[in-house]
């Protein structure tokens, strides 16, 4: 049986595709990052009574091997906490393991915070660097920021809500003259898309989910 890699909404619960819902309703097993978030996502989509399991940063090679075995005889759907799985999350390890085991992997595309931001940035971006999440540790974080300061291409950075305040402080101090498009809680009720020099980024964004495009 194939592994279905299913995109889920990033903010607005209505942003499920019809195909994604069909796959989740027919799945024998749905794998997510955190069970609490997965249950909330499925409840909002009206998908009930499914076998659930989790794959996250605490999972190991034995967990991956177990899930590969599940894919051999069941319809398995892989989701992330939000957005497209296998993109900045541990789902990529399962996809790779299935590919090595000659198990078909089928994408079920949908919401993506990266493409959502780029679609409303108001700038034609033919090439860009996706720099992902900044390291949590100060020394490694400073090294990545210093490297990005030399970058000539537009680049995209993401951050977790609990480090959102530190995120905008770092961007403002490191890239004060870069044009910045900051997305907060994209597609959610409190969505904000802010445009301007990074040196003037709004600072009061605690516990909001940020993603930023910076253009040198």
Tens digit of each residue's pLDDT (9 = 90 or more) over 72-99: 999 999 999 999 998 888 899 999 999 9
Residue 106: the pLDDT is 97
Q: Are residues 127 and 201 in the same domain?
A: yes
Q: How many domains does the chain have?
A: 2
Residue 5: the pLDDT is 98
Q: Which residues pair with 196 in a beta bridge?
A: 180
Q: Which residues pair with 133 in a beta bridge?
A: 158
Look up the domain containing 19 and give its range: 3-108
Q: Are residues 32 and 117 in the same domain?
A: no
Residue 75: the pLDDT is 96
Residue 206: the pLDDT is 86
Query: Who contacts 82 (Cβ-Cβ below 8 Å, separation ≥6)?
Result: 8, 9, 10, 11, 37, 41, 111, 113
Q: Are residues 150 and 211 in the same domain?
A: yes
Residue 88: the pLDDT is 82
Residue 179: the pLDDT is 98
Q: What is the 3-state secondary structure (H, E, C) of the chain?
A: CCEEEECECCCCCCCCCHHHHHHHHHCCEEEECCHHHHHHHHHHHCCCCCEEEECCCCCCHHHHHHHHHHHHHCCEEECCCCECCCCCCCHHHHHHHHHHCCCCEEEECCCCHHHHHHHCCCCCCCCCEEEEECCCCHHHHHHHHHHHHCCCCCEEEECCHHHHHHHHHHHHHHCCCCEEEEEECCCCCCCEEEEEEHHHCCCCCCCCCEEEEEEC
| Segment 150-180, tens digit of pLDDT | 999 999 999 999 999 999 999 999 999 999 9
CATH number of the domain bearing residue 60: 3.40.1010.10
Domain final residue, candidates 87, 108, 129: 108
Residue 89: the pLDDT is 87
Q: Are residues 124 and 49 in the same domain?
A: no
Contact 3, 95 (CB under 8 A): yes
Residue 209: the pLDDT is 94
Residue 166: the pLDDT is 95
Q: Are residues 131 and 98 in the same domain?
A: no
pLDDT beneath 50, residues of the chain: none
Domain final residue, candidates 60, 81, 108: 108
Residue 82: the pLDDT is 93
* Nearest-angstrom CA–CA distance, 125 and 196: 16
Domain final residue, candidates 108, 136, 171: 108
């Amino acid at each position: 049986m194939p592994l279905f890699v299913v995109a889920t909404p990033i903010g607005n619960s209505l942003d499920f595709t019809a195909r994604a819902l069909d796959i989740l309703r027919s799945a024998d097993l749905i794998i997510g990052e955190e069970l609490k978030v997965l249950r909330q996502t499925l409840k909002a989509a009206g998908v009930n009574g499914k076998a659930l399991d989790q794959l996250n940063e605490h999972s190991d090679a034995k967990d991956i091997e177990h899930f590969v075995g599940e894919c051999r005889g069941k319809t398995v759907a892989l989701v992330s906490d939000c957005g497209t799985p296998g993109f900045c999350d541990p789902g990529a390890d399962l996809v790779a393991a299935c590919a090595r085991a000659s198990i078909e992997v089928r994408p079920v595309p949908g919401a993506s915070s990266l493409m959502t931001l780029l679609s409303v940035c108001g700038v034609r971006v033919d090439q860009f660097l996706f720099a992902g999440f900044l390291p949590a540790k100060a020394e490694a974080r400073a090294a990545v920021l210093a490297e990005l300061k030399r970058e000539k291409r537009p680049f995209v950075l993401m951050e977790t809500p609990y480090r959102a305040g530190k995120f905008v402080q770092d961007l403002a101090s490191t890239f004060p003259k870069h044009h910045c498009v900051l997305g907060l809680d994209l597609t959610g009720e409190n969505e904000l898309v802010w445009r301007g020099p990074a040196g003037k980024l709004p600072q009061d964004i605690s516990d909001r989910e940020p993603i930023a495009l910076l253009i040198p």
